[in-house]
Structure 1
Amino acid sequence: MLDTHGRAAVQPIISKTAQSFLKMGLTANHITYLAFFVGIMASVLVYFGQPIIGVAVLWLSGFLDAVDGSMARMSKSSSSWGTVLDVTFDRVVEAGILVALALRHPEPTILLLFLLLAISIIFTMTIFLTVGALSEKESYKSFYYQPGLAERTEGFILFSLLVLFQGQLVVWTIVFIAVELITGIQRLLEAKRILS
């Protein structure tokens, strides 16, 4: 939702950063790899009990993840391989945060909720990726980007809440699961409408 409706507000900063990187001779794929490395570092920081720094580094990773796409469009170097890397690395970074939190909180209830959260993310992402692959619609990305209650920014907000308020992991994980399921249902209904 925030990505769809709020992108224009932050795009000037993303574009300026993309231009700066391109002037330095970097490619979109360089920044994709950098965003991935930074995202994994966020998980390491969370695991070692540095939640505030971990969240800051996670958001830096997300910012770089937005910059790489702008770089690809500016340099007309968008590629299917870049899209595969981008989507795959995003999921690995998210999984890393969940693994770090699970290792810090191995209580059965928390682990069960994390499992359900992972399933809800898989459910939502499966619909998103399938519709993106099957739809003839175009977006500013390399495939149709389905809007929904939970997009990348909402995911980062919810992961941040999990990391920063670990005393309320049960509550925030349930909220996260609910948001993912609502998003999945939204996307499923839209898929029926546009693909039927």
Structure 2
Amino acid sequence: MLDTHGRAAVQPFISKTSHYLLRIGLKATHITIIAFLIGIMASVFIYLEHPIIGVVVLWISGFLDAVDGSMARISKTSSSWGTVLDVSFDRVVEGGILIALALHHQDPKILFLFLLLALSIVFTMTVFLTVGAVSQKESYKSFYYQPGLAERTEGFILFSLMVLFQSNLTFWTIIFLIVELVTGLQRLLEARRILK
């Protein structure tokens, strides 16, 4: 939701950063890989019990994740391979956050909630990617972008809340799970409407 409706507010900063990185000779794929490595470092900091640093690093990774796509569009180098890398790396970063938290919270109830959350993310992304693959619609991205209640920014906010307020981890995990399920169902209903 925030990515769809709030992108215009941050786009000038994303564009300036994109132009600067292209000017110094970096390519979109380089930034995709850098964003991925920084995202993995977020998990390491969370595991090492530096939650604030972990969250800051996660958001830097997320910002660069937006910049790489902007760079590809500006330089007219968007590619299917770049999209595959981008989407795949995003899921690994998210999985890393869950693993880092799980290593510190081994209560079976919390681990079960983490499993449900992971499955809800898989469900939501499966609908998103499948609709993108089969839909004839176009968007400014390399495939049809299905908006929803939870997009990348909402995911980062909810992961941040889980990391920063681990004393309320059960609550934030349940909230995240509900948001993901609502998003998945929202996208499924839209898919039924546009693909019938």
- TM-based fold match above 0.5: yes
> Where has structure 1 moved over 2 Å in runs of 4 or more?
none
Q: How many residues are matched?
A: 196
Aligned equivalents of 2:136 and 2:60: distance in 1?
32
Give 1:176 deviation, angstroms: 0.4
Please name the residue that 1:28 is paired with: 28
Identity across aligned pairs (percent)? 76
Q: Match for residue 95 of structure 1?
A: 95
Alignment-mate amino acid for residue 120 of structure 1: S
SS in 1 for 2:169: helix
Structure 2 SS opposite 1:139: coil
CA distance in 2, matches of 1:122, 1:82: 20
Shift of 1:140: 1.0
TM-score of the superposition, structure 1-length normalised?
A: 1.00
Question: Match for residue 62 of structure 1?
Answer: 62
Q: Residue 170 of structure 1 corresponds to which residue in structure 2?
A: 170
Q: Which residue of 2 aligns with 1:180?
A: 180
Q: Which amino acid aligns with 2:4?
A: T
| In structure 1, distance between residues paired with 2:84 and 2:12 | 25
String of CA shifts for 1:131-171, please: whole Å, max 9, x gaps.
00011111111001100000000000000000000000100
Provide the residue aligned with 2:129 in structure 1.
Answer: 129
What SS does the corresponding residue of 2:77 show, helix, strand or coil?
coil
Q: Distance in 2 between matches of 1:145 and 1:58?
A: 23
- Alignment gaps of 5+ in structure 2: none
Q: Which amino acid aligns with 2:28?
A: A
Aligned equivalents of 1:123, 1:88: Cα separation in 2 = 15
User: Residue deviations 1:85-124, cap 9 Å, x none?
Assistant: 0000000000000000000111111100000000110110
2:42 is the alignment partner of 1:45: no
> Which ranges in structure 1 are unaligned for 5 or more consecutive residues?
none
> Can you list the C-alpha shifts for 1:23-56, whole angstroms capped at 9, x where unaligned?
0000000000000000000000000000001000
Q: Secondary structure at the match of 1:40?
A: helix
Distance in 1 (alpha carbons) for counterparts of 2:138 and 2:13: 24
Aligned counterparts of 2:91 and 2:150: Cα–Cα separation in 1: 14
CA RMSD of aligned residues (A): 0.4
1:107 matched to 2:111? The reply is no
One-letter amino acid of the structure 2 residue matched with residue 119 of structure 1: L
TM-score (norm 2): 1.00
- Aligned AA (1:170): T
1:51-100 superposed Cα distances (whole Å, 9 cap, x missing partner): 00100000000000000000000000000000000000000000000000
In 2, the alpha carbon distance for the partners of 1:141 and 1:104 equals 37
